[in-house]
Structure 1
Amino acid sequence: MKTRRTETIERKRLVPHTVDGETELVLDTEYIEVPAPPRDWDQLVRIGVTIGACILVTVALVWSTSAIGGLLALSVVAVVAYAAAVAFDMTWIMCMAVEWLLRYDPARAKTARRAGRWSLVVSMAAVFAHGYVFEQPVIGIVGAAVSALAKGGWGIAMRVHARPLDDRTQQWVTKRRAAVDGQLAMIPIRRELQRGQATVEAEQRTLTESGSTDPDQSGPSANGSGPSAPPIDRKSLTTKDAVRIAWEDGIRDRDGVIHDAAQRLGRPVSPDSVDRYLRDLKRGA
């Protein structure tokens, strides 16, 4: 009689344990034997097909690089020739990778599939040209077929892993992906806007602190001061107001005006702005 295969699993649970009349929940570990699930031969075959496709692609890459590199080495340095030869097969391999990533988006995967086929044709033509130049056209044809077989093997592996969707489910997936893609696209856009806004705010702070901008240009002229001037709200002073107050208090020295205005405003003032306002006050006097 055939014994059924089992496997040991570890199970942990909290159980009450009492010591000296005090009970606490402690972790108890037990090992039990359960029937082992049957071997999934379909999954094993699927893995084998995938590994075989990867091996085929690797062989095709090595063979094509060797053949095309030998052809290009007739006119350039060998290192450069073989480095450039990698591009021929890497192009259609990259297209296959993109096709894999877009396997649930047939509309976008179609472009990658078409580009991969054209890249494969170019690579096969280059391998055949190598055999033709060295007067071995049969070897060129057989060598070119290596890439075609690798591409076909990968296509078979793709079909094994494919999960076709019906039309309505595909539309649902497309709409949900579009919504998520929109949210993902907004992440760098928000970062860009935040960086731009931070740069603008930093520039404004720099210009204000250095006195390169004149926030008082829209205020009244300084030579309009005098006994008839309206009272000034000292809680919302501007540089122009602070200079006028210092002038009315009898301060005529430039450095004294700058010091008095800075104290009233609670921040440094621009010497250029102070000079301009003092000139206006002197002309009005």
Structure 2
Amino acid sequence: MKFRTEIRRRLVEHTVDGITHTVNKPYTKRVPVLPADWDARAIKAASTLVLALTAIAVVWSTVSIGALLHGGPGYAAAAVFDVAWVTVLLLEWMARFDPDKREFARNMGFVLVGVTAGAIFWHGLLVGSVAMAVVGAAVSVIAKALWMAIFKHVDKPLSDADRQWVDAEISKANAKLAVAGVRRRVAVAEVQARAEILAAEQILNQLDDEANTAEQIEIGSTEPNSTSPLASPNKVREQIEPVPSITELARQQVAAGASNKDAAAEILRLLPTANAESVQATVRREARRVNGYL
């Protein structure tokens, strides 16, 4: 077995002039060297070669099908053919632990490669070269077959019980993702609902302030002059007593079960100088508040 020497560091106590501190001190250690994994290197080399062949196949099919489509934008359309089956190859690798998804991706790859090879073969016949038609079509087919061989070699077969265990773990992880997505949507909906409620309450408070200001102006304009010789002691006593606001009267009437119309009529009877439209708006607002709509 081969060994290599590594320089590592560790904390040690170092004392100078009676004062001790912890310092990093280097030391050497011999560690075994793992033997080379030639299987992994061989797979990497084979994958690199097949990847290069796939690039050649993509270029070949793009040029051939692009010429078949009279060049120009046809080359962009031609790139779709090989990009499609290469994408399916990636999906097949990602679904290596799901037999159903992997089989669908493999079958779709066969169809896409067949379409690409057929288009290349057609182009070869149009230019009058059977050899170009056959060899050009075979390039994409060979690339697909080599990828299948690599996937087959690196495939790790699972027993039926192990596959069911893997499916259960994947299902549990998917359930967590689904729950997380639902909770995220619920949280966003709750934030939006709270924002709308806060906005409605702010508007309601602003309307209350405006209504209270209007009430104070109206009540102030109807108060008799205390210095007037016509003012009686009873009138002065009424001025001293607090006058309930329209909002309070509306809240009391609605809470008592009165309809909006009856509540507005009662408030106008108690405060004959109040504005009828303002009273009706206040009653409707308080009715919504009492019924829980705001």
* TM-score past 0.5 threshold: yes
Aligned to 2:9: 12
Q: Which has the higher contact order (CA 8 A, sep 6+)?
A: 1
After superposition, residues 37-48 of structure 1 pair within 5 angstroms as 37-48=34-45
The answer to whether residue 174 in structure 2 is matched with residue 181 in structure 1 is yes
After superposition, residues 45-124 of structure 1 pair within 5 angstroms as 45-73=42-70, 78-124=71-117
Q: Structure 1 residues 242, 22: closer, same or farther in 2, change over 3 A?
A: farther
Give the CA deviation at 1:208.
4.0
Match for 2:130 among 119, 132, 137?
137
Q: Is the 8 A contact 2:62 2:75 kept in 1?
A: yes
Identical columns (%)? 31
The answer to whether residue 190 in structure 2 is matched with residue 197 in structure 1 is yes
CA distance in 1, matches of 2:136, 2:92: 25
Give the CA deviation at 1:274.
3.9
Give the CA deviation at 1:168.
0.6
Match for 1:207 among 176, 184, 200?
200
Aligned to 2:219: none
Aligned to 1:264: none
After superposition, residues 255-266 of structure 1 pair within 5 angstroms as none
SS at match of 2:25: strand
Q: Structure 1 residues 21, 69: closer, same or farther in 2, change over 3 A?
A: same
Task: Read off the aligned partner of 2:65 and give its amino acid letter.
Answer: I
Q: Structure 1 residues 127, 242: closer, same or farther in 2, change over 3 A?
A: same
Task: Read off the aligned partner of 1:119 and give its amino acid letter.
Answer: L
SS at match of 2:97: coil
Aligned to 2:251: 241
CA distance in 2, matches of 1:161, 1:188: 34
The answer to whether residue 165 in structure 2 is matched with residue 168 in structure 1 is no
Unaligned runs of 5+ in 1: 215-233, 255-270, 280-285
Aligned to 2:210: none
- Which whole-Å deviations, capped at 9, do the CAs of 1:87-133 have from their partners, x for residues lacking one? 11111111110011111111211111111111111011011011111
Q: Is the 8 A contact 1:56 1:153 kept in 2?
A: no
Computing the radius of gyration from Cα coordinates, the structure with the larger value is 2
Task: Read off the aligned partner of 1:139 and give its amino acid letter.
Answer: M
Q: Is the 8 A contact 1:12 1:27 kept in 2?
A: yes
Give the CA deviation at 1:197.
2.7
Q: Is the 8 A contact 2:268 2:274 kept in 1?
A: no
CA distance in 2, matches of 1:85, 1:240: 75
Task: Read off the aligned partner of 2:44 and give its amino acid letter.
Answer: I
Task: Read off the aligned partner of 1:154 and give its amino acid letter.
Answer: W
Aligned to 1:29: 26
Task: Read off the aligned partner of 1:72 and give its amino acid letter.
Answer: L
Give the CA deviation at 1:8.
3.0
Unaligned runs of 5+ in 2: 208-243, 254-262, 285-294
CA RMSD in angstroms comes to 3.2
Q: Structure 1 residues 208, 35: closer, same or farther in 2, change over 3 A?
A: closer
SS at match of 2:20: strand
Q: Structure 1 residues 277, 30: closer, same or farther in 2, change over 3 A?
A: closer
Q: Is the 8 A contact 2:91 2:105 kept in 1?
A: yes
Q: Structure 1 residues 44, 277: closer, same or farther in 2, change over 3 A?
A: closer
Q: Is the 8 A contact 1:17 1:26 kept in 2?
A: yes
Give the CA deviation at 1:188.
2.4
Q: Structure 1 residues 126, 25: closer, same or farther in 2, change over 3 A?
A: same
